[in-house]
Chains A and B, each alone.
Chain A
């Protein structure tokens, strides 16, 4: 029975879901299939809403891995609050879903992909809409499917999807709280979030942020995007998230453990040839094999020399500005032109597709938070231009002494104007990279070609 030590809960209704594998979905009347992923349920079609902006996103889906088999009553589903058929059409509540899973080989590291299992019936359920995850979750059920749905059946689907998608899960139970006023409303959910859920999220994030590339024996790779970019191979290390931002190092590790023949795979580090650029023999070998032998070398921490290939779902990009011998950053939301005369859209169109474009690199929103961010290019001392809003978003990771020295669109996008600004502000690039106060542009090779000073890095 799931109970939360810090928060007394009102009594709920208890249901028992089937636990035999071939009966897991017996009685579930809605279809659960990728066919229904990404549905949009408009206000007028909505029967009920849980989570979302109306409640300040005070809601959660939480997965706990139990250490003791006896802590899990397999198939038990407890509902605190009203069932779907008991609320007025158009109702909206904060909510909480807590899944407790146990399996002989299930460990804490598996929580990341398991949470995805927790989203699946909402994500793939006929008539359900899921937007966002974790602390911005927002779910709707449409009128047509409401008659075929109940929280018991949703709980059954949650446990069923966890078991069939993650065979390491042997037992599971669920606690569903619909935060109606009679059970404590938003206050109840907020208390659970503040005392129990958020600290766990923070601890997981801290663990992830505390890991360094040197701490692990292997990296991971991902080729999910090869359908679009046939030669693209993404490298996932503790200090280097994939561009799409949907996976972490620990998430990739768990994904490979659960599905060793899937699109994620182990990337042995091999020998470290250059710790500053981030060159590893194992990474080079795997990338070469998985890129149809088209990419021979990858520097994990450089956008200039042998950067990783780009798919197309990167959230931001780093790009070389030859006239300044510096690097600019731009995110997807910035619609204006950059100092190289293109907007994000055009730049991304050029970068994407799986080629190794020296001088450009895709980024996830979290990438610049890494201590090794572009360290092979000079790190933050080489970055000279970022759109204002993106710069504010990155304020925590930009060294304080450099923050005001990085130009934005407010300084302009014309090269002489930015150059003057950098000199006036004494940006570190002026002394560290420029020669006699003047930038010396690199001669960047064409896509997939070696640098002129090394016909092939071996």
Chain B
């Protein structure tokens, strides 16, 4: 029997109900990006994957390009990250890679990232970003990572939330020690 359906195994399943549907999230993300001065460009396939949204902005001679994979819950996050990893095989560091989620349970996210699973490390190794979208409150925040386009930070409702990475990293200390000592 596969353990993937239990709260054990390589990827656990969390008892969560998505707060928003995918369509609502896509609409909210599109509105946010346009408001922040980004242009939505055709989300053509990149290698083995197709982003949900692709957006770009040019400042002087610098062009910022971002791709987004939008998912509804922590349970879909690994699959979303896998999509981003596929894209990164082809586009390397030329893009910002973002997994966008609705407001998910912070507790489950902590378990997902570090306590029960270890997805925090590969996310950081590949400089993937996780954004949280709240269509009801028209708020977007960057939870992990940060866009190369630093100006985009002014549009997040709470830029301080990116400090969450340090909170998780401190929780990871024991795991790093266990690896090396």
Is there an interface contact between A131 and B170, defined as CB atoms closer than 8 Å? yes
User: Residue A345 at the B interface, CB < 8 A?
Assistant: yes
Is there an interface contact between B137 and A131, defined as CB atoms closer than 8 Å? no
Is there an interface contact between B106 and A53, defined as CB atoms closer than 8 Å? no
User: Residue A263 at the B interface, CB < 8 A?
Assistant: yes
Is there an interface contact between A224 and B105, defined as CB atoms closer than 8 Å? no
Is there an interface contact between A132 and B170, defined as CB atoms closer than 8 Å? yes
Is there an interface contact between B116 and A40, defined as CB atoms closer than 8 Å? no
Kindly list chain A residues whose C-beta atoms are within 8 Å of the C-beta of B162: 34, 37
Is there an interface contact between B106 and A229, defined as CB atoms closer than 8 Å? yes
Partner of B169, one of A40, A230, A332: A40
Is there an interface contact between B106 and A312, defined as CB atoms closer than 8 Å? yes
If A40-B121, A313-B167 touch, whether A263 touches B144 (CB-CB below 8 Å) is no
Number of A-B contacts (CB under 8 A): 119
User: Residue B59 at the A interface, CB < 8 A?
Assistant: no
Chain B contact surface mostly: helix
- Partner-contacting stretch, out of B28-36, B38-46, B47-55, B171-179: B171-179
User: Residue A246 at the B interface, CB < 8 A?
Assistant: yes
Is there an interface contact between B146 and A228, defined as CB atoms closer than 8 Å? no
User: Residue A349 at the B interface, CB < 8 A?
Assistant: yes
Q: Of all chain A residues, which has the CB nearest B12?
A: A345
Kindly list chain A residues whose C-beta atoms are within 8 Å of the C-beta of B142: 34
Tell me the count of chain A residues lying within 8 A, CB to CB, of chain B.
41
User: Residue A123 at the B interface, CB < 8 A?
Assistant: yes
Q: A183-202 CB contact bits vs B (8 Å, 1 = yes)?
A: 00000000000000000000
Give Cα A228 to B167, complex, Å: 15
Give Cα A262 to B136, complex, Å: 21
B residues sitting closer than 8 Å to A (CB atoms) are: 7, 14-16, 103-111, 115-116, 120-121, 124-125, 127, 132, 134, 136-137, 139, 141-148, 150, 153, 157-163, 165-170, 172-173, 176-177, 179-181
A–B pairs, 11, beta carbons within 8 Å: A35-B147, A37-B162, A38-B166, A131-B172, A226-B158, A227-B157, A228-B105, A228-B109, A229-B106, A313-B110, A346-B15
Supply 7 further A-B pairs (C-beta < 8 A) apart from A246-B167, A351-B107: A35-B148, A131-B170, A133-B170, A138-B173, A228-B106, A312-B106, A349-B16
